[in-house]
């Protein structure tokens, strides 16, 4: 069987994290019997190029590729975070964090706020702009 690739670029924020993801992918490969080639795909390489690879077998990604084209990727597992707010389900949240002196305390405080897609490191993101 031809090797499939694995990469955790979005969450490889430091050498220790990169090494931990590599160990996890090695374990997944060993336990599943699926040969995974763990590749580097560091910035400035485009994340979209990684996500579009036909040999992509294992990765940790945000929801953007699914929002753009839900047919492009087929999720087979999703993490179930431990905190109670997730209710034991693989739920994805976006948190808005502001400075303590900000006039925004709830999302309802932001009626004039718009979002734009920012491309680039660390990943594409929808960022609020007043």
Strand 36-38 versus strand 4-7 pairing type: parallel
pLDDT tens for each residue of 36-87? 999 999 888 888 888 888 899 998 887 777 777 777 777 777 788 899 989 9
Q: Tokens 């492009």: give the residue.
A: 72
Pull the structure tokens for residue 111: 């009626």
Strand 56-59 versus strand 4-7 pairing type: parallel
Each domain of the chain, given as residue ranges in start order, spans 4-77
- Confidence (pLDDT) at 19: 94
């Amino acid at each position: 069987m031809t090797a499939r690739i694995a990469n955790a670029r979005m969450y490889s924020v430091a050498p220790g994290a990169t090494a931990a993801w590599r160990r996890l992918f090695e374990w997944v490969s060993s336990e599943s019997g699926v040969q995974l080639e763990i590749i580097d795909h560091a910035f400035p390489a485009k994340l979209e190029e990684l996500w579009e690879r036909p040999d992509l077998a294992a990765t940790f990604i945000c929801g953007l590729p699914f929002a753009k084209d839900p047919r492009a990727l087929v999720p087979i597992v999703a993490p179930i975070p431990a905190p109670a707010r997730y209710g034991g389900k693989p739920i994805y949240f976006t948190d808005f964090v502001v400075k303590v002196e900000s006039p925004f305390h709830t999302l309802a405080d932001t009626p004039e706020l718009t979002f734009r897609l920012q491309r680039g490191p660390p990943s594409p993101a929808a960022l609020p702009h007043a």
